[in-house]
A and B are shown apart, each in its own frame.
Chain A
Amino acid sequence: MRPLEDLIRACAERGEASDWEEFVSRFHSLIASVVLRTTRRWDVTSPAVDDLIQETYLKICGDQKRLLTEFTPHHPEAFYGYLKVVASNVVHDYFRARHSQKRGLGQPEVSLDEAGSGTPTARDGADEIHRDILLREVDDILRSTLSGEQQSRDRIIFWLYYRYGLSAADIGRLPSISLTVKGVESVIHRLTSSVREHLAEREVS
């Protein structure tokens, strides 16, 4: 197996079938996993997975210049990131186009938000007000507890975890967070304890 850099260069500059075959084989798991998971967001029974995998590869090979510029030997992981972004965009574009086609044919309209993120359920007014008050209260606690350079990072971690349900592992992998699972959990534990103590103090007073 060739080093990644040599393979990418060969694909971009020479582009023979044997080069691309190695490329396809090497990245199949990565691209297929993104296509599979993204497809599930839209339509669990879609038979289009292989077509979308093919579409992703064709898109990558259609832009040879990008192929070369996206790869830097010191950060090979950025190239994997590029492939994942292309795969994700191919799937979303495909399903968006399919949904707008359905609308054009007079089929019931499905909004992108509904199709992509599950049907949102409205809270009632009182719930919404309580939620807003608690959000504000907790955020004020975080702001007064945290200081320095880490303030912004730790608040991001806390809210992504509790408000949007990202796992500690997913948060840790995000750029500009770059912490281990343990590191993220430690931030969450520390801030949760602090919120608990402050809320208890406020309730007493």
Chain B
Amino acid sequence: MARDPNSHLSSEELAWLADQAASTAETRDRSLDRAEAEAHSRVCSECGLLLKAEGEVRERLFRLGSQAVSFRKAGCPDEQRWAEVAAGTLPEAEARVLLQHASSCDHCGPLLRERTEDLNPEISAEDQELIGRLPSASRDWQAHLASRMADVQQANRSESREAQAVQVRPSRRQTFSWLRWAVPVAAVFAVAVLGVLTWMQRSPSLSSTNQLIAQAYTEQRPFEWRFPDARYGPVRQRRGAPDPRMDESPALLEAESSIAHALAKHPDDPGWLQAKARTELLEGNYGVAIEALTRAESSSSADESLQLDLAIAYGERARSQTNRSSQFADYDRALQLLNQILARNPNNEVALFNRAVVNEQMNKRAEAVSDWERYLKLDSEGAWVDEAKKKIGNAR
């Protein structure tokens, strides 16, 4: 169907015209008429301006990626992992964690691009022709290699048989009757121990994962809120690339991998959902954190630590809200949750500290000072105390 020359460009058409590299599939499937759309953008000043703006924003966005210096950071996975991601040989949950990392890492992002290009299943006609001309494409070459492969395999088998023969050769010691049962028992015991150790290594516990998250928080504390069970760390300024706060944290990457594995098996486990929410919070994904915590809360109601995390999530989301009433609503939710915790347990230091932060951010100075003072009665020394004292000084 022909395009109505008087109708404004749809957002699809705008994107399509601005993006020279858009796939031809789109053109074919949706019958977008490029010439007609272009003609309209030339005569319609409104659409012309929109198209110009769309083109400019794309250009700005593409410039974000060009020629960045790319040095490996402590949290970057081994280079070989990117081939596994590109080839699709990793479990989906693990691949997602790695993709998340690559999408904000100037070292790994380009490596992932290279591997996806290298491992692309589509072979260009030019390469196909080149491959056909390689000596390895000839039948003789392949027959020769196949014969070598058969020899190699034969040699491997012989070696393996010899090794087995050495293992089963009877020794004089086997004449001792007690060894007849002691050896299998010891073997079973060793296998069991090995199994348990392997299982422990492969199945990181929730508590060890939470420790990793707490460690990541301490190393690169991204906000003022106190995290439960985490040691003190100075607040890092927000600047740089997306999630610079946590990009360099191997502890967080490891925790995310464990969480992805665990949630793939137990998607509704409140403990793992809470751990996921904590990692999302550290990465600034408050919305995802709130969703995960709400799901966790539905199967584990009135859990104090979930309420504490939810308060942080609402408080952190409030900071990013541009709409005043939404901001107030989020701060208010955070405050209500912290009030509930403190009503049950007035000596909860983390809740008190965080309520002081909420009050401070809501410009309720008197309430903030009152909370800091109460906090200092519960906690008398250490870096958290120093921070609280500094806050009181600032508030006054």
Contacts and interface: CB of A to CB of B under 8 A. Distances in A.
Interface of A: 15-21, 23-25, 28-30, 32-34, 36-38, 41, 49-50, 53-54, 57-58, 61-62, 64, 77-78, 80-82, 84-85, 88-89, 92, 113, 116-117, 120-123, 131-136, 138-140, 143-144, 146-148, 151-153, 155-156, 159-160, 162-170, 173-177, 180-182, 185, 188-190, 192-193, 195-196, 199-200
Given A33-B127, A138-B61, A82 B113 contact: no
A56 to B, nearest CB: 10
- Interface residues of A, dominant DSSP: helix
A136 B238 contact: yes
Give the one of B64, B131, B149 with max A CB within 10 A.
B149
Given A28-B137, A81-B87, A151-B285, A193 B146 contact: no
Interface of B: 11-12, 14-16, 19, 21-23, 25-26, 29, 53-54, 57-58, 60-65, 67-72, 79-80, 83-90, 92-93, 95-96, 99-100, 102-104, 107, 109-121, 123, 127-128, 130-131, 134-137, 139, 141-143, 145-150, 152-154, 156-157, 238-244, 284-288, 291, 320, 322
Contacts of A140: 320
Given A25-B142, A54-B145, A57-B149, A162 B15 contact: no
Give the one of A62, A152, A160, A163 with max B CB within 10 A.
A163
Nearest to B284: A143
7 contacts: A24-B145, A82-B87, A85-B119, A92-B80, A174-B88, A182-B26, A192-B54
Contacts of B322: 144
B117 A18 contact: no
B241 A136 contact: yes
- Shortest 3 CB-CB contacts between residues of A and residues of B: A81-B87, A164-B109, A189-B15
A132 to B, nearest CB: 5
B88 to A, nearest CB: 4
A21 B115 CA distance: 28
B61 A174 contact: no
A170 B116 contact: yes
Contact of A32 (B14, B68, B136): B136
A32 B113 CA distance: 19
A88 B95 CA distance: 18
A134 B104 CA distance: 14
Given A123-B67, A136-B238, A170 B150 contact: no
B69 A121 contact: yes
A181 to B, nearest CB: 5
Nearest to A82: B89
A173 B116 contact: yes
Contacts, number: 275
Contacts of A77: 88
Contact of A132 (B79, B90, B135, B239): B239
A175 B90 contact: yes
A78 B62 contact: no
A34 to B, nearest CB: 6
Given A25-B142, A28-B131, A189-B11, A15 B112 contact: no
Contact of A164 (B86, B102, B152): B102
B117 A58 contact: no
A34 B118 contact: yes
B142 A24 contact: yes
Contacts of B120: 37, 170, 173
Nearest to A196: B57
A38 B54 contact: no
B152 A139 contact: no
Contacts of A193: 11, 14-15, 54
A8 to B, nearest CB: 13
Contact of B100 (A15, A17, A123, A156): A156
A182 B102 CA distance: 22
